Every structure is written in structure tokens, then in C-alpha cells.
Amino acid sequence: MDWGRVKFFLGEVARSFTRNTLMQITAIGTVAMTLMLLGAFLYVRTTLADLGNGMLAQIEISAYLEPNVTPHQINALRAAFKVDPRISSAEFVPKSEGLKELRARMRGIIDTSLLTENPLPDKFRIRVRAPQLVPAVAKDVARLSGIQRVLYGQQVVTRLLQLGEVLRRVGMALIALFLVVAGIIISNTTRLAVYARRREIGIMHLVGATNAYIRMPFIVEGLVVGILGAVAAIVLLVAAHAMFWPRILEALPFVRFNTAVVDVPSLILQLFLVGAIIGSAAAWVAVGRYLQT
């Protein structure tokens, strides 16, 4: 290791960095804001997705059988459900059982003693492995022989799925926008740094420095901006979480958030990487564009 070279290189980066302090702080601030938004969004999204999945997981498909279905057909259906990889469980509920359940559910609401006859058909109670699969499975089950009708919370399921999708897209668009803004600001900072050092760069070219060598300090500078922005964002997010999250939980006691599903170390790592990548990539693009070679 040639320490003289390392020292020279770091000296060049440090000199360039301190020459434009105000602009660098702006860039770091922008990265920090962007990453805070990204971090908060990912945190909330994971929590909400878990909440949504919890609701969707309770959804079951009721496949009602035709009144004159044979035991043979029931067995065939049972077998068909068993081999379908999307279906996690299929439970046969005979009509007597169904009536018992109905009575239990309606107790106190209506007078169940009025139910003297059993109006219910036999049914299968089907659960699927992922909520997204519910509509497709329901459709397939309806086609099987012996099935009269398939019911599930059609509207609830499709609405929830749609809502989740819309939220995801809006969030992603916002974050993409912020990342672009952060990139542009870092690019501009790099451009200023290149401009401030144009004499040196000219001399470097003249004495035979390679383009890669000339660009390196600027890219390292961008990388440092990205990393500092990420660190600031992580610190602020952790602080904000400690301050505000308990109050949010307190304000919404009926919503059962499960924050344990958020993988915090991985989230921090992601923010850190995004910061480093956006910083160095924006600087890389900027030196490529503004450094005449």
C-alpha cells in the first residue's frame, strides 16, 4: 500500500468537498429527506401490507354443493382440492354442521328456534395460500362438477387488492420522483465542483492523467454525500419512530399493527445502499457530462 498516494487522493477529495460546503450540505439534506420518505414509506407499507394480509387471510371460499350430490362426487372434489397447490385447506362441512354454525353465529341476534328446517346445502370451506389467489381459485372451483355456487367476499377482496396496488404505485412514483430530484441536485453539486477545479483538471489532462483518475475524486465525493445523507436519514427516522410511533398506536387502538414484520436492519441497509448508489451514480453521470475530455 502506497500511503503517499492514498493521502494525496483523500486530500484532493477533502479539498474539493470543503470548497463547496453549502452546496454539499444542500445535497446531503436532499438525500436525507428522500431516504427518510423512502424509509417511512417502506415501514408503513410493510406494516399495512401485513394488516391487509391478516384481513385477507381470514377470507375463505364457500363452495356450495348441489343438493343431490353423491358421496363419490364429494370424494372426487376432496381429491381435486388436495392436489391443487393454491389451496391450503379444504374442509367438508355437511349441512347439519352448517346449521349448527349458523345457529351459533346468530344466537342472540335472531330467534334460532325458528329454524326448524335446514335450508343449507352441504359445502366445502376452502382456504387458499395467498389472498391474490382467491378470485381465480373461486372461478376454477365453480366449474367442478357437483358445485352449485361459490361465494367469497368478492367485493372486499378485490377492493382490498386494488387499494393495496394503488397505494403501492403512488408510493413508488413519489419515491422515484424524489430520487430523481436528489440525483439532479447531486449532479449539480458535482458540476459545480468540476467547474471550481477546471484549472486543475486542465493541468491533469495536460500531464497525462487518465479520465478515470480525474473522475474518481468527484465520484467518491458523490458517494460520501449519498452515505452522509443516508446516515442522517436513518438517525432521523429512528428518532422520529421512537417519538411518534407509540402515539400513533395509542391514537388507533382498534388497528392491530404488527411492527415485528418490519426487518429493521435490512431496511437500514437498504437505505444506506440506496444513498450510496444514488450519490455515486449521479456524480458519475455528472462528471461524464461536464468533464470535457
Instruction: Return residues touching other proteins (CB under 8 A).
Output: 2-5, 8, 199-200, 202-211, 213-214, 293
DSSP classification of residue 255: S
For residue 224, what is its C-alpha cell? 460520501
Q: Give the nearest distance from C-beta 212 to other proteins in angstroms.
A: 9
By beta-carbon proximity to other proteins, the closer residue of 199 and 247 is 199
Q: What is the C-alpha separation between 57 and 134, in angstroms, rounded?
A: 10
Q: Give the nearest distance from C-beta 194 to other proteins in angstroms.
A: 15
Q: Give the nearest distance from C-beta 10 to other proteins in angstroms.
A: 12
Residues ≥6 apart with Cβ < 8 Å to 178: 33, 34, 37, 38
DSSP classification of residue 107: B
Q: Give the nearest distance from C-beta 202 to other proteins in angstroms.
A: 7
Q: Give the nearest distance from C-beta 44 to other proteins in angstroms.
A: 48
By beta-carbon proximity to other proteins, the closer residue of 104 and 207 is 207
By beta-carbon proximity to other proteins, the closer residue of 4 and 67 is 4
Cα torsion at 99, 100, 101, 105 (round to 10°)?
100
By beta-carbon proximity to other proteins, the closer residue of 127 and 205 is 205
By beta-carbon proximity to other proteins, the closer residue of 5 and 72 is 5
Q: What is the C-alpha separation between 249 and 237, in angstroms, rounded?
A: 17
Is 179:187 a contact under the CB 8 Å cutoff? Answer: no
Pairing between β-strand 147-151 and β-strand 87-93 as defined by DSSP bridges: unpaired
SS3 content of the chain, % helix, strand, coil (to 5): 75, 10, 15
Q: Give the nearest distance from C-beta 213 to other proteins in angstroms.
A: 6
Q: Count CB-CB contacts under 10 A for residue 16.
A: 21
By beta-carbon proximity to other proteins, the closer residue of 77 and 214 is 214
